[in-house]
Structure 1
Amino acid sequence: MSNTHNTERKALIYGLIAVLLWSTVATAFKLTLAQLSPIQMLFIASLVSVCTLMIICAYNGTLSQIRTTFLSDPGYFLLLGLINPLAYYLILFKAYDLLPASQAQPLNYSWAITLTLMAAIFLGQKIRKQDWVACALGYLGVLIIATKGDILALQFDSPLGVALALLSTLLWAGYWILNARNKANPIIAVLLGFIVSLPFSAALVWYEGLSWGEIDTTGWLAVVYVGLFEMGITFVLWLTALKNTKNTARVSNLIFLSPFISLMLLAQIIGETIYPSTIIGLIFILLGLAVQQIKFTKK
Structure 2
Amino acid sequence: MQQHDQKKAYIYGLSAVLIWSTVASAFKIALGYMDPLQLLFYAVIFSTLSLFLILKIQNKTEQIKRMSTKDLLKNGLPGLLNPFLYYIVLFKAYDLLPAQEAQPLNYTWAITLSLLSIPLLGQKMTMRELLAILTSYMGVVIISTHGNLLNIQFSNGFGVFLALFSTILWSLYWIMNTKSKSDPLVGLFLNFCFGLPLVAVAMLIFSGPPPFNAPAILSAAYVGFFEMGITFALWLNAMKLTEKASRVSNLIFLSPFLSLILIHFILGEEILHSTLVGLLFIVGGNLIQQLGRKN
**TM-score bin (small chain):** over 0.9
Deviates more, 1:60-69 or 1:8-17: 60-69
SS in 1 for 2:228: coil
Partner of 1:269: 266
Give the Å deviation of 1:219: 2.4
- Give the paired residue count: 292
Post-superposition, which runs of at least 4 consecutive aligned residues in structure 1 deviate over 6 A? none
SS in 2 for 1:36: coil
Give the Å deviation of 1:67: 4.1
Q: Give 2:107's match in structure 1, choosing from 92, 106, 109.
A: 109
Structure 2 counterpart of 1:122, which letter? L
Q: Give 2:154's match in structure 1, choosing from 128, 153, 156.
A: 156
Give the Å deviation of 1:181: 0.7
- 2:291 corresponds to 1:294: yes
TM-superposition CA deviations, 1:110-141 (whole Å, max 9, x none): 01001111000111101010000000000000
- 2:117 corresponds to 1:142: no
- Against the structure 1 CA distance between its residues 167 and 296, is the aligned structure 2 distance closer, same or farther, given a 3 Å change threshold? closer
**Distance in structure 1 (CA, Å) of the matches to 2:209 and 2:85:** 22
Structure 1 counterpart of 2:252, which letter? I
**Distance in structure 2 (CA, Å) of the matches to 1:97 and 1:178:** 28
Q: Is the 8 A contact 2:38 2:207 kept in 1?
A: no
Q: Is the 8 A contact 1:69 1:184 kept in 2?
A: no
Give the Å deviation of 1:218: 2.5
Q: Give 2:25's match in structure 1, choosing from 7, 18, 27.
A: 27
Partner of 1:240: 237
Normalising by structure 1, what TM-score?
0.94
**Distance in structure 2 (CA, Å) of the matches to 1:236 and 1:224:** 17
**Distance in structure 2 (CA, Å) of the matches to 1:172 and 1:240:** 21
Partner of 1:167: 165
Partner of 2:59: 61
Partner of 2:34: 36
**Distance in structure 1 (CA, Å) of the matches to 2:58 and 2:33:** 35
Q: What is the root-mean-square deviation in Å for CA atoms of aligned residues?
A: 1.6
Q: Is the 8 A contact 2:38 2:209 kept in 1?
A: no
Alignment identity in percent?
Answer: 47
**Distance in structure 1 (CA, Å) of the matches to 2:147 and 2:65:** 50
Unaligned runs of 5+ residues in structure 1 are none
**Distance in structure 1 (CA, Å) of the matches to 2:293 and 2:24:** 35
